[in-house]
Each structure stands twice: as C-alpha cells, then as structure tokens.
Amino acid sequence: MGEKKDYTADDIKVLEGLEGVRKRPAMYIGSTGKEGLHHLVYEVVDNSVDEALAGFCTKIKVILNKDGSVTVDDDGRGIPVDPHPTYKVPAAQIALTKLHAGGKFDKKSYAISGGLHGVGVSCVNALSKKLILEIKRDGKIHQQEYSRGDPTTKMKIIGNATGTGTKITFYPDEQIFSTTTFDFKTLETRFREITFLNAGLKIELRDEIKDTTQEFFSSGGLVEFVRWINKSKEVLHKPIYFKREMNNGAIEIAIQYNSTYQENIFGFVNTINTVEGGTHISGFKTALTRVINDYAKKKELLKNDSFSGDDVREGLTAIVSVKLSEPQFEGQTKTKLGNSEIKGLVDSIVTSALTEFFEENPQVAKKIADKSLEAAKARLAAKKAKDLVRRKNAFSLGGLPGKLADCSDKKSEETELYLVEGESAGGSAKMARNKEMQAILPLRGKILNVEKANPSKALSSEEITNMITVIGTGIGEQFDQAKIRYGKIIMMTDADVDGEHIKTLLLTFFFRFMPQLIEHGHIYAAMPPLYRVRKGQKDVYVYTDEELKKVTAELGVTEGGVTRFKGLGEMNSNQLWDTTMNPKTRKIKKIYIEDAIEADRIFTMLMGDDVQARKDFIQENAHEAKLDI
C-alpha cells in the first residue's frame, strides 16, 4: 500500500453541500439521543484514526471540557489550509462545510479510511452550535470558528507551531440533541477498541469535570483484544492469530475458545465496529464451520453427521478486522459491510490459515473439535426437549402456553407482551390490561441463569421455552425477526432486590439467546412506583426517593401518609393500570446494547462462575449502590 506524503488542497474533492443534515440528523448519525451525541465524537476521532492508518498520527487526545464541549486533538498532518483551486477558500473550510468533501475519495492521501463517505466532520459542524478548528501546519497555528455549519470567522494565523496536527473543539447543539451530556464510560469502551485494532496508537481521554484521565494503548493488538474479552472466562487455548496483506488492504483475525456456551464474533472494517456483520463475518463463519467439520471427519470424531454453525461457534471469541481501500457500507452509520468479494477472500484466508494451524497444533485442534462435539450433543438433546414442549403445548391455545393471556390484536408493532413476576401479580395484570393490545405471561419465580447452564438445560426449562414460544422469533441461527408476535416485550418485576435479580436473569436470557430483540428496540423494563402518597382523597404515585421528598414537602404530608410498594401484588388492578400499564401515564425504560463487547464482559462477570471478578466489581462500585431498608 503506497502512501502519498504531501496532502494539499488539490486532494480535497467536493461532491455536494450540507443541506438536510440539520433537518434529518438521524439519517447521518443514527439518532438525536445519546447514541447520536457520542457518534459526533467518533466521527471526529475516526478522522484522526485515518491519519494513524496512513502512518502519520501516533497520539489522539479527547477532552470533555467543563463548558460541555469536546476537544479532539491529534498529531497528524493537519487538514490543508491553502486555498482550494475551485472554491478559492481554505481547503479545511471546504472539508467542514461541504457534505461530501474530503481527502479520501481518490485514494491518494488515504489508502484506507474509516470516515470514507466524507460526511463525518461536516456533519459534526452542522450539528454543533459552535465549532473551533485549529490546524498546525507549516510552522503556524491556523484557526477558524463555525456555528451550525457556517464559518463565523475567516481562517487566521494565531501563533507559531511546533509539529503538525488538527484540533477540533465542538459544542453539540441543544436544538438538535435531547441530551448534550457525554458519558465517559461509553467513550472509554470505543477508544479501548480503537487502540486494540491499531496496535501502537495512543488515545488519552480526559474528563475535566470529574478530573479523570484514562489512557489507551495496545502493543499486542487483536491477540490482546481477545484476551481482554475472555479475561473473566476459562479459556481452552492461547489466542490463534493470523494476518494477510492484500493489494487493497489487509485481513486480520484472532480466535480463542472458552468454556462458556456463548459465541462472540466482533467484526471491524477500518476500525469501524460493524455491529450488523456483513460479508467479512459471513466468510469467516463459513470457513470456520468447514475447517472444523473437515478436521473432525478426518480424525473420525464425526461419522455421517456434520457440525452446525452454532455447534462450532459455541464458546468462541473472535475478532475479524478488515482494512480496505474501498469498503461499501450499508447506511451512513456503517454497521454492515456490503463488499461481495470480501466473503470469498476471508473464507479462503481463514480456510488455509486455520487448516495449517490445526495441522501444526493437534492438541488445540482436538480441544476445539471436542467442544463442538459437546455442543452438537447438547443441540440434539435441546431439540428433543423442544419437541416435547411443543407436543405438550399442542392441546393449549394454538400451541401457546396455557397461562398466556394473549391480546386480540395481531398487528405485532402495536402489541405488548408483559413478562410478569409472580402468579398473583400476573392475575392483577390480566385484570388491569387493555385486552386488545396487551398480553400477559406470568413467570413463576426466578428463571434459570442461562450464563451458567448449557443450552440443552436452558431449553428444557419450562419458563424459558414458554417465552421463546410466545415471542415467536425462534433463537440462534433459526431467529427470524419477521415472526415476532409483539412490538414491545416489557419485563415487569417487583421494585425490590429479588425483582432486580429476576430482571437481570431475563436480560441475560435475551442477550444470550435473542440479542436482536434488544438491538431492534423491542425490550423494555416497566417502572412500577416505589410509593403512594395520599393527601385526603388524592393519591400521588412516586418513582424515586428524591421525588418522594419533593412530593411530601409540596403536599405537606407527614411520614404516616407514605405507602411503600414492595411488590406488584400489593397493588390492585386499577392501581397497576394507572401506574405501570397505561401507555398514557406509565414509565417504561427501553433497553439498549451500547457496546456488545462491554455487555458480554459484564454479563460474564455478574452472572458467570468467576466469583472473584464479581466480588471485585461489587467492591469497586459499592459506593454507587443505594440501601433499600
């Protein structure tokens, strides 16, 4: 991959202007909520990472400033400041004010880039009430200010510079975003990923408000990445790593199996996390299944049968990182790779590299094949268990569990399924509900912890098979989003420790068996009130302790007028409807997976077998817990 060292105004190509970004921001950054807000930071940082990929940047500083702005400062070449040959204004101004403008279209300045579409920094500019650009080039510091996409000052020299680089400080626009508060942990997770994927790059994250600094650096790259993901798990072997250079980029893969029953495959293209997968992941899965099947048949571990894809991926942690000069992403947020040729390339590279590794490391190959064999046995046992459940349910309503109180409306986007803790609360909920659009499935006690149980045990649990049957999508490779029976699936548990535990068990089940339901925004948590405050004939329902103090003070209610609800069963059907089930008055929380890698780590640590890791986590976070007496 040849690089061009000079980066000048001639390299900035313009395709079209900034119209529409402020009108439809979600089209460009995914949302105007927390995700979109953080996407602004990623867009600016991705430009600095592109400089690192091109070999010109070694350190990126990201600062959360006290005034609510964010500064991203790199030591790359600096955006060109000389006049653009066509537009006769500084090239940097074109990059910040034109939608498809950048040095990444002709492949001369950047052989590989994550910010390929050239909309990144101009979108950030359009969605910021103020943006300050500082560029160090040719021994000078150049500065220009913008507001909501338009320059408010001309480019000027404000001092002498040593070295080169680009520094952008932006203030997100409250007219656009529902929140403008950045989350340190969300950024921390993304920056850790970036440094794992770019061995040798240093990123410093500083929060000026909390006076906290975290530095990210990885010399071990992907091998270190899989070790980090698996650190709370019992691993079966050292990471398997291979990399192949190509004319237009490189393919890099790290694999390590652990003793759990979950698969974790994370795909990246030019350091962008492709959460929806794509052709690179398809090619990897196909090759992995074929190589393990071929090995097992050759060693006569398998006779006539074959391992399924699910079998060979049980307990797998893999990172598939592809760096391409011409990636084709589906959608501006770049969550799925579309290049058709990459499937075959990854397939061929994985097939040859993994076959060679198995021949040279027979002990590791045997462990992986044995793991797949156990998974296949468990799959067959689970199939028998599911068939039994199907036969048992055949005499109930249309094959659905008898204790389901279904709704009459069959349009899934308008319907809701309440998963209710306890039979008595389930009874109240059935009386309280809107029968047309709300279905109730009572859960008996705590469901099985699927983090610790193998799939066959999980799928022989009545509560779990009931939920799978009722939701309708199936699980694993058979998951079909189109078959979902309800638009919202709402967990409704008591507002106490047991209720929180049941909610965690349910979330573990969804994350491990049906993560797509969370990703597509179908999973919610009901928020029943903690208190009822009564003044005369008036009842006010209160959802937090802070709100309780405020309400009792406003109403002048003494301590005796506070009822603390410990369980849903303490509420009659009218109260349950008014507080927790009426779409007009209730409060419900939508569940998100902000980062699958971090979510996997937390679920493993909280719900798995590593007691010490859990103890350390509790001690570290105990100060944030509230005592409920």
Instruction: For residue range 135-153, list pLDDT tens digits in order.
Output: 999 999 999 999 999 999 9
- Separation CA 425–CA 573 (nearest Å): 9
pLDDT tens digits along 265-286: 999 998 888 888 899 999 999 9
pLDDT tens digits along 342-399: 999 999 999 999 999 999 999 999 999 999 999 998 888 767 665 655 554 443 444 6
- Residue 627, pLDDT > 80, answer no
The first and second tokens of residue 246, run together, are 């190509």
User: Regarding predicted confidence, which is higher, 339 or 65?
Assistant: 65
CA dihedral 409, 415, 421, 424 (to 10 degrees): -30
pLDDT tens digits along 98-108: 876 555 434 55
Closest CA to 118 of 134, 135, 103: 103
Mean pLDDT to the nearest integer, 481-491: 93
- Residue 575's pLDDT is what? 87
Output the pTM of the full model.
Answer: 0.73
Task: Check: CB of residue 371 under 8 Å from CB of residue 314.
Answer: yes
- Separation CA 279–CA 336 (nearest Å): 8
pLDDT tens digits along 73-117: 999 999 999 998 888 899 999 889 887 655 543 455 555 565 533
Helical (H) or strand (E) element with 365: helix 362-393
62-66, 332-336, 465-469: the lowest-pLDDT one: 332-336
- Residue 1's pLDDT is what? 43
DSSP structure class, residue 239: P
- Residue 431, pLDDT > 80, answer yes
- Separation CA 360–CA 340 (nearest Å): 32
- Residue 417, pLDDT > 90, answer yes
- Separation CA 308–CA 376 (nearest Å): 8
- Residue 438, pLDDT > 50, answer yes
Residue 519 CB-half CA count within 13 A? 15
- Residue 387's pLDDT is what? 63
- Residue 608's pLDDT is what? 82
- Residue 179, pLDDT > 50, answer yes
- Residue 2's pLDDT is what? 46
- Residue 260, pLDDT > 50, answer yes
Computed over every residue of the chain, the mean pLDDT equals 86
DSSP structure class, residue 148: T
- Separation CA 373–CA 295 (nearest Å): 12
User: Regarding predicted confidence, which is higher, 456 or 441?
Assistant: 441
- Residue 393's pLDDT is what? 47
Mean pLDDT to the nearest integer, 192-219: 95
- CB within 8 Å of 207: residues ≥ 6 apart: 64, 184, 213
- Residue 30's pLDDT is what? 81
Highest mean pLDDT, choosing among 293-297, 541-545, 595-599: 293-297
- Separation CA 432–CA 574 (nearest Å): 6
Catalogue the active-site residues: 421, 494, 496, 498
- Separation CA 607–CA 501 (nearest Å): 10
- Separation CA 316–CA 258 (nearest Å): 6
DSSP structure class, residue 579: I
188-202, 385-399, 416-430: the lowest-pLDDT one: 385-399
Residue 609, helix vs strand vs coil: coil
Closest CA to 252 of 264, 263, 241, 239: 241
- Residue 450, pLDDT > 80, answer yes
